[in-house]
Amino acid sequence: MSSPHAAPLPDIAGLERAALEALLESHGIEPYRVRQLFRWVFARGVTDFALMTDLSKSLRASLPALVRVSRPLVAGSERSSDGTTKLLVELDDGRRIESVYIPDSPGDTFCISTQVGCAMKCAFCLTGKMGLARNLTAGEIVGQVRALASAFGLTASRFNIVLMGMGEPLHNYEETMKALRILGDTEGFAVPPRRVTISTVGLVPALDRLAREAYMPNLAVSLHATTEAQRDMLVPANRKYRIEEIIDACRRFPVRRRDRITFEYVMLAGVNDSREDARRLVRLLDGLQVKVNLIPLNEAASIPFSRPSDERVNEFARILADRRLTVSVRKSRGRDIRAACGQLIVEGTQKSAAQRLAELLT
C-alpha cells in the first residue's frame, strides 16, 4: 500500500504529449500508445483506463499504477436568462474557481481561468478583490475545458477559448502556455490558435515572449485608459509597464495580414468615457492593426464606478469609427448570474478541504 503522503501520480490531463511519451517509454510502453490515450481523454472525454478498448488488457491493467487522469469537480452551476452558464470548479486543494460557457457568441465559447484570484487589482474588477491565492496548473486550466465540454456535450465539437476568466494569464505564463499546447494537440481537442484568445493587462516581457511562441493565440490587451494617470488609478500594473511600453510591444507583435490585436476598454462613467479620451485612444493606436472592444462597466456593489449611458458609449464608438478604427461594443452576457466581464469572484476559497471537513464534523 502506498504512503498517504506519497506524491500523486503524473496526471495525463496536465502533460504534453512528448512528456507523456517519455514517461511511458521509460516503462517500456510504445510511444504510439500516447496518441491513443490523448484521443480517449480529450477527444472522447473518457478517464477510466478500463474503458479504453483499443489498448491491450495488460496495458489497461498496468496504467493505473503509472499515471492518473484528474477529474474536474463541478461544485455548482448557474444559468443566465441569456443561456450563459457559469460553473464553479473545485480543485484538489479545496480552492474554487469559476469558468463560463457562452453559447452563440458566435459559436460556442469557453471563458477559462488561469489563477485562483488575481494579483493585478484592477479597480473595476471583482476578481482583483480576491487577491492572488495561487496559479493554476496546466492540468487545472485544461480541466476547465474538459468540464465545460463534457457538461454541454461539446467534447467532439468546435469551440472557442478565451482566457478572460479569473487571473492574468501572462502572470502564470509557463502553465498557461503548456495548457494551450495540450489543448491544441491534434490527437486531443485540436483547438487551433485562431480559436484561442489571451487577455492581458500588458506584462511587457511576457508579451515579447508570447510573440516568439510557435502556438500563438489571438491577443487582447486590456487598456482601459488613455493617460498614464488614469491607468495608474485603474490598473496598478501600469506603474511598472507604462502605456507607451505596452503599445510599443504591440507594434513588435507579429500580426498576420488579416488579423488584428484587440484592445479592450472598460468604460466608466465620468472617468474614461469623454470625447477627448476617444480622440486620445485614436492617436495611441495609430498605425496598428487593431480592433477596439468597448465594454460598458458591469456594475457591482463593491465597485466604486458607474456604467455610462448608451448615448455616451455610442458617441465614443462613433469617434473611433469615424477615424477608421474597427470598433465593437461588447454585449455583456451572464450579468444576472455575475458571469460577465470583471464579475468572477469566489469567496472563502482559502480553506482547505480538510478544514471544511473538520468544520462539518464539529
The strand pair at 96-102 and 85-90 is best described as antiparallel
Amino acid letter, 158: R
Is 341 a known active-site residue?
yes
Q: Which of 118, 122, 250, 341 is catalytic?
A: 341
Which class for 290: exposed (0-12), middle (13-18), buried (19 or more C-beta within 10 A)?
buried
Closest to 101 (Cα-Cα) out of 126, 116, 83:
83
Closest to 246 (Cα-Cα) out of 267, 263, 268:
263
- Whether residue 320 contacts residue 291, with contact meaning beta carbons closer than 8 Å, is answered with no
Question: What cell was used for 270?
Answer: 465620468
Q: Which of 21, 90, 98, 111 is catalytic?
A: 98
Catalytic annotation, residues: 98, 341
